[in-house]
């Protein structure tokens, strides 16, 4: 795509407008977050007095000191990392293998399984039966309870299967002629070609694990096992009473946290996972795949 000197005027104009538009879009999407970061380093008064700013007048670490004042937060970060890493590996293992086998169009029973998957995507028993199944399996209070029930997202499965289906058939034929088995094709051809897909869905699954608090609260009784989001949510929950104000529940003995603390909570809960994507972006470079292998 590097052909700038051949571009017409129209194409160059398009480029200028494109860059401008993307720059504005990027700013509009990122500035509120910059405000949140700035706010997390600000004092309460500044947050009340100034509606929006990018740099705090009077920086203060008190919100972060408050959040990190105990070990439990650090431990919960560790828990989150464990759940995210092992969870994502589990997800990818289950999803990629199933998607690959379903992408073989001549597999007998394929339609049956696909219908099974689609049906399960839309019909669900709800929270209580799900909990009872996990309980009967003896998984309560273990990380398995947080990882296994979500091992495959039907949506992800379907999209990945579709990607596998769209890989050029010529490659597979060539590999088979060379004597590759099904698993060999998967391992040696399909997966390396699918790096962008694996990166994408690895990211999706990872973000899902990182942001998850509900199943952790449900299945993990031991607060030492709680991941970050559960901790953070508890800190912020009081002020998120969307249905009214403090008179609503038990505010006589608990004070809502400062604005700055709420913002610091967002920063702590979000920045780590935000940093994952830039590292994955190199897998999204074009032409990683086919040209080289075709030879």
Q: Under rule CB under 8 A, which residues in 189-228 are in contact with other proteins? A: 193, 196-197, 199-200, 203-204, 207, 211, 214, 217-218, 221-223, 226
Structure tokens that stand for 275 in this block? 């940093």
Q: Which is nearer to other proteins, 114 or 174 (CB)?
A: 114
Asked if 26 interacts with other proteins (CB under 8 A), we say yes
User: Which string of x and - marks every residue 146-185 that binds other proteins (by CB under 8 A)?
Assistant: --xx-xx--x-xxx--xx-xx-x------------xxx--
Site for other proteins in 258-287 (CB under 8 A): 266, 270, 273-274, 277-278, 281, 283-287
Q: Which residue has the tokens 């509120």?
A: 32
Residue 124 CA to residue 130 CA, distance in Å, equals: 9
Residue 221 CA to residue 38 CA, distance in Å, equals: 35
Residue 278 CA to residue 9 CA, distance in Å, equals: 33
Q: In 3D, which of 262, 150, 260, 158 has the Cα closest to residue 207?
A: 150
User: Which string of x and - marks every residue 73-92 that binds other proteins (by CB under 8 A)?
Assistant: --------------------
Q: How far is the CB of 8 from other proteins (least distance, A)?
A: 7
Asked if 65 interacts with other proteins (CB under 8 A), we say no
Asked if 9 interacts with other proteins (CB under 8 A), we say no
Query: Which of 57, 121, 178, 192 touches other proteins (CB under 8 A)?
Result: 121
The distance of Cα 46 from the centroid of its chain, to the nearest Å, equals 33
Asked if 59 interacts with other proteins (CB under 8 A), we say no
184 and 54 Cβ atoms separated by less than 8 Å: no
Q: Which is nearer to other proteins, 82 or 280 (CB)?
A: 280
Q: How far is the CB of 175 from other proteins (least distance, A)?
A: 14
Helices assigned H by DSSP within the chain: 9-40, 44-49, 62-67, 71-103, 110-122, 127-136, 143-147, 154-165, 169-177, 182-184, 191-193, 195-211, 214-219, 228-237, 259-274, 276-280, 290-294
């Amino acid at each position: 795509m590097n052909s700038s000197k051949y571009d017409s005027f129209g194409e160059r104009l398009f480029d200028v407008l494109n860059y401008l538009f993307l720059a504005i879009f990027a700013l509009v999407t990122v500035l509120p977050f910059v405000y949140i970061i700035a706010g997390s380093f600000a004092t309460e008064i500044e947050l009340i007095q100034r509606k929006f700013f990018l740099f705090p007048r009077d920086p203060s670490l008190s919100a972060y000191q408050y959040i990190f004042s105990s070990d439990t937060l650090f431990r919960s970060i560790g828990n989150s990392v464990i759940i995210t890493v092992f969870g994502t590996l589990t997800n990818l293992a289950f999803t990629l293998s199933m998607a690959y086998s379903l992408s073989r169009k001549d597999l007998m029973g394929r339609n049956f399984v696909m219908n099974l998957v689609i049906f399960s995507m839309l019909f669900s028993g709800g929270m209580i039966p799900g909990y009872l199944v996990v309980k009967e399996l003896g998984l309560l209070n273990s990380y398995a309870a947080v990882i296994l029930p979500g091992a495959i997202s039907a949506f992800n499965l379907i999209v990945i299967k579709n990607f596998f289906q769209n890989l050029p058939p010529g490659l597979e034929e060539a590999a088979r002629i060379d004597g590759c088995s099904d698993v060999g094709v998967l391992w040696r051809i399909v997966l390396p070609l699918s790096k962008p897909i694996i990166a994408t869905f690895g990211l999706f699954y990872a973000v899902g694990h990182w942001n998850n608090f509900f199943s952790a609260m449900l299945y993990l009784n031991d607060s030492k096992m709680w991941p970050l989001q559960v901790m953070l949510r508890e800190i912020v929950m009081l002020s998120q009473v969307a249905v009214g104000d403090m008179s609503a529940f038990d505010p006589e003995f608990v004070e809502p946290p400062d604005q700055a603390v709420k913002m610091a909570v967002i920063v702590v809960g979000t920045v780590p996972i935000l940093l994952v994507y830039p590292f994955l972006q190199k897998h999204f470079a074009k032409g990683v795949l086919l040209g080289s292998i075709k030879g």
